[in-house]
Amino acid sequence: MQQGGELVPNLPEDIKLFYLESTFTLFDKIRFHLGEDVMLNRLKKIENEFKSDIWYINTITNAVVLKYSNHFTTFKFLHIHENLFGLGHLSLADTEIILNKVDHYIACSEIIFNQLRSFIQKPCATITSCIDKNLIDSCLINFTPPSKNKIKIIGSGTICQIKGVEIFVEISKHFDPANYEFVWVGKWSKTGYSEVLRGQINSIENPAIEVKSNLSPNAYIQEISSADLFLSCSREESMGLVMMEAIYCGVPVLATDSGGSSLIVNDQNGKICFDSRSEVLANEVRALIENRNQFDLLTMRKSIEKYDGPLEIQKLEIILSKI
DSSP state of 64: G
Check the CA dihedral 38-40-42-44 and report its sign: negative
* Sheet with 104-107, side-by-side order of all strands: 54-58, 75-80, 104-107, 124-126
On the CB side of 311, CA atoms within 13 Å amount to 8
Q: What is the pLDDT of residue 301?
A: 97
Q: What is the pLDDT of residue 2?
A: 46
Compute the average pLDDT of residues 150-172. 95
Q: What is the pLDDT of residue 33?
A: 92
Report the mean per-residue pLDDT for the chain: 92
Compute the average pLDDT of residues 207-227. 93
Q: How far is CA 63 from the centre of its chain?
A: 17
Q: How would residue 161 be classed by pLDDT, with cut points 50, 70 and 90?
A: very high
Instruction: Please choose, from the candidates 155, 177, 149, 193, the residue with its C-alpha nearest in 3D space to the C-alpha of residue 281.
Output: 155
Higher pLDDT, 153 or 64: 153
Compute the average pLDDT of residues 201-216. 90
Segment 77-92, tens digit of pLDDT: 999 999 888 777 788 8
Q: What is the pLDDT of residue 185?
A: 97
Segment 118-129, tens digit of pLDDT: 889 999 999 999
Under a CB-based contact definition with an 8 Å cutoff, are residues 235 and 256 in contact?
yes
Residue 7 above 60 pLDDT? Answer: no
The angle formed by the CA atoms of residues 109, 114 and 117, to the nearest 5 degrees, is: 125
Q: Indicate the Cα dihedral angle 176, 181, 185, 189, nearest 10°.
A: 20
Residue 131 above 70 pLDDT? Answer: yes
Compute the average pLDDT of residues 245-272. 97
Q: How would residue 256 be classed by pLDDT, with cut points 50, 70 and 90?
A: very high
Residue 195 above 90 pLDDT? Answer: yes
Which domains does the chain carry?
3-130+311-321 (no CATH), 133-302 (3.40.50.2000)
Instruction: Please choose, from the candidates 248, 43, 42, the residue with its C-alpha nearest in 3D space to the C-alpha of residue 137.
Output: 248
Segment 10-63, tens digit of pLDDT: 667 777 778 888 889 999 999 999 999 999 999 999 999 888 999 999 999 899
Under a CB-based contact definition with an 8 Å cutoff, are residues 285 and 254 in contact?
yes
Q: What is the pLDDT of residue 3?
A: 46
Q: What is the pLDDT of residue 11?
A: 67
Q: What is the pLDDT of residue 10?
A: 65
Q: How would residue 105 be classed by pLDDT, with cut points 50, 70 and 90?
A: very high
Residue 281 above 50 pLDDT? Answer: yes
Residue 9 above 90 pLDDT? Answer: no
| Stretch (H or E) spanning 26 | helix 26-33
Report the C-alpha gap between 261 and 233 in whole angstroms. Answer: 10
